[in-house]
Amino acid sequence: MPLIRTGILLAAMTALFLMVGMLLGGQSGLAIAFIVAMAMNFFAYWNSDKMVLRMHGAREVTEVEAPEYVRIVRDLAARAGLPMPRTFVMDNAQPNAFATGRNPENAAVAATTGLLKTLTREEIAGVMAHELAHVKNRDTLTMTITATLAGAIGMLANFALFFGRGRNNLGLLGTLAVMILAPMAAGLVQMAISRTREYEADRMGAEICGRPLWLASALEKLDRGTLQIDNPTAEHNPATAHLFIANPLHGGRVDNLFSTHPNMANRIARLRDMAGTPDYVEPAPTHTPGPWG
């Protein structure tokens, strides 16, 4: 069902993009929109992982620099039947993590130093299992496509007056309406896809690590940490917020149309239901990885 819903939402995003091109420029607008989308998606397919890692100052680490972190990822990748992804660390006090890469063979996972300092070994395993679930489901590619399409729709809308004026039947008010409503609609579809994939990654991540409560406990700490600690890099690059396991931006707390992430309480409740223990007790902490412990 999550895959079907994601497919429907992706189809809606594509249809919206083509419709905007058609409304603003007729057949020529449709053709230009198609060419632009193809070029942007081609570039994003090959370069999005490098761009987002560089954007967040992520540095690659090996088992020498971060032995426990890398071992956790290796063990979980083996359990999930995945190739070992590249492992990165971001010098950021906010506890958070994300995965990127166009396919499992070219995947990378990145964790903040705040996450590696704050979480127990079991909780880190829960978070990394969640990120590997994204890799296994190829969500990183899906979210790259949706982000690219959303950006292309916004670009078309921003050029609406120049691109479509005098070449469509919308008139000035109609063109202004497209400029305002099209990016909003694209954002809503993108957010809906993101929330759908987060719920599914929670479920599969719990299965990969075998302990839903490890991830539930981690999400509780991430929820508190992201609210208390700023992530300046993410605030300056909000388009990447949907990649993180917890919303790195300070904003809404409800699971609504305008949220890139499901409400944490809803996610934690689902994981507790998976474990069959609604009255959750946080596990005793153990040591944390390497030089960040």
> Token pair for residue 246?
């917890």
Distance CA 94, CA 111 (A): 10
* Of the candidates 126, 264, 260, 151, the residue with the CA atom closest to the CA atom of residue 206: 126
Q: Is 156 helix (H, G, I), strand (E, B) or coil?
A: helix
Select which of 122, 123, 131, 198 is catalytic. Answer: 131
Q: Is 131 among the residues known to form the active site?
A: yes
Q: Are 233 and 292 in contact (CB under 8 A)?
A: no
Q: Is 279 helix (H, G, I), strand (E, B) or coil?
A: coil
Residues in the chain: 293
Q: Fill in the amino acid letter for 133.
A: A
Q: Is 65 helix (H, G, I), strand (E, B) or coil?
A: coil
CA distances from 195 to 54, 68, 201, 226 (A): 25, 30, 10, 17
Q: Are 253 and 263 in contact (CB under 8 A)?
A: yes
Beta-strand pair 97-100/108-112: antiparallel
Active site residues: 131
